[in-house]
């Protein structure tokens, strides 16, 4: 077994919202976007070992190693997440290095009840080598080989990254924050060329499972913009799965932008724009 390790924020043994069926979800640390509406901003940056969290930890689970880095004791931690709330760097001291084999041990325990595995983040493709080895190991394990391997991604990866994953990856769910490049940059801090190219490429090689759009009223929900978005997606594949997700305040990071939740009426309007453009497989949540 190759000794490549992944920097893992957390795992969920059972999830029915991260791809088809019941899935084991792996959250990787590190993201190349800085989204204003991020619901897990502590996965964006790698810990810089500033130590702000050490004194704040109510359980004494955090300390400094001999090399000066922040160390976390899982056994002492009471799970208050105070460390995350005091971190000004959008990180967590609780991300751990795990080998593929270590992760497979956890997956095997849940395997009889699973449809597949989804790797999310952060941004999963930032650790593409680990992804490739994990998915390859799953396919090679007789007890796990029937599980599908999915990636939940912001799409900001080049074609060579996706190509390297094709033989072991069954599907990708892509978040399209906005078709308009300037709005996309305002929302994420990055352009959207790679995202759009990823959607085209993954559809062409039959790996695009779903495109997700997070709806932010007053920011990316202009009617003309949504009509252009629906037409662009229909040009790629008029039958693709499209999920429209209404922004929710609960769990979102603080933002200098005034973010509001869409009303049910707005969500119906979004749905109608896409439904009248093409026979997409639509889901609204």
* Tens digits of residue pLDDT in 208-257: 999 999 999 999 999 999 999 999 999 999 999 999 999 999 888 877 78
pLDDT-based confidence at 122, cuts 50/70/90?
very high
Residue 4's pLDDT is 86
- Token code pair at residue 263: 């009303």
pLDDT-based confidence at 1, cuts 50/70/90?
very low
Residue 258's pLDDT is 87
Contact present, 238 and 208 (Cβ < 8 Å): no
CA count, 13 A, side-chain hemisphere, 156: 20
At 68-113, the pLDDT tens digits run 899 999 999 999 999 999 999 999 999 999 999 999 999 999 999 9
Alpha helix positions (H), the chain? 52-56, 82-86, 100-110, 128-140, 159-165, 181-188, 193-204, 223-236, 264-275
- Token code pair at residue 154: 């912001």
The rounded distance, in Å, linking the Cα atoms of 34 and 80 is 24
CA distances (Å), origin 49, targets 78, 126, 239? 21, 21, 47
| pLDDT higher than threshold 70 for residue 2 | no
Residue 199's pLDDT is 98
pTM for this model (two decimals): 0.94
| pLDDT higher than threshold 70 for residue 65 | yes
Residue 47's pLDDT is 94
């Amino acid at each position: 077994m190759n000794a490549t390790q992944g920097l893992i924020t957390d795992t969920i043994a059972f999830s029915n919202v991260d791809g088809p069926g019941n899935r084991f979800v792996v959250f990787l640390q590190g993201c190349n976007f800085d989204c204003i509406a991020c619901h897990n901003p502590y996965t964006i940056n790698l810990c810089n070992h500033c130590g702000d969290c050490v004194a704040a930890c109510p359980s004494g689970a955090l300390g400094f190693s001999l090399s000066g880095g922040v160390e976390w004791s899982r056994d002492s931690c009471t799970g208050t997440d105070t460390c995350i709330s005091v971190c000004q760097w959008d990180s967590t001291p609780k991300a751990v290095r795990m080998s593929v084999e270590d992760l497979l041990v956890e997956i095997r325990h849940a395997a009889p009840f699973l449809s597949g595995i989804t790797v999310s983040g952060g941004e999963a493709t930032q650790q593409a080598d680990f992804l490739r080895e994990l998915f390859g190991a799953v396919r090679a394990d007789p007890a796990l080989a029937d599980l599908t391997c999915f990636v939940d991604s912001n799409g900001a990866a080049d074609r060579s990254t996706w190509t390297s994953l094709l033989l072991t990856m069954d599907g990708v769910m892509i978040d399209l924050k906005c078709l308009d490049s300037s709005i996309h940059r305002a929302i994420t801090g990055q352009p959207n060329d790679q995202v759009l190219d990823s959607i085209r490429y993954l559809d062409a090689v039959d790996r695009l499972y779903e495109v997700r759009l997070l709806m932010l009223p007053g920011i990316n929900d202009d009617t003309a913009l949504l009509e252009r978005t629906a037409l662009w997606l229909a040009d790629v594949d008029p039958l693709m799965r499209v999920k429209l997700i209404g922004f929710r305040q609960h769990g979102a990071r603080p933002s200098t932008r005034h973010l509001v939740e869409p009303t049910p009426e707005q969500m119906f309007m979004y749905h109608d724009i896409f439904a009248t453009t093409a026979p997409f497989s639509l889901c609204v949540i």
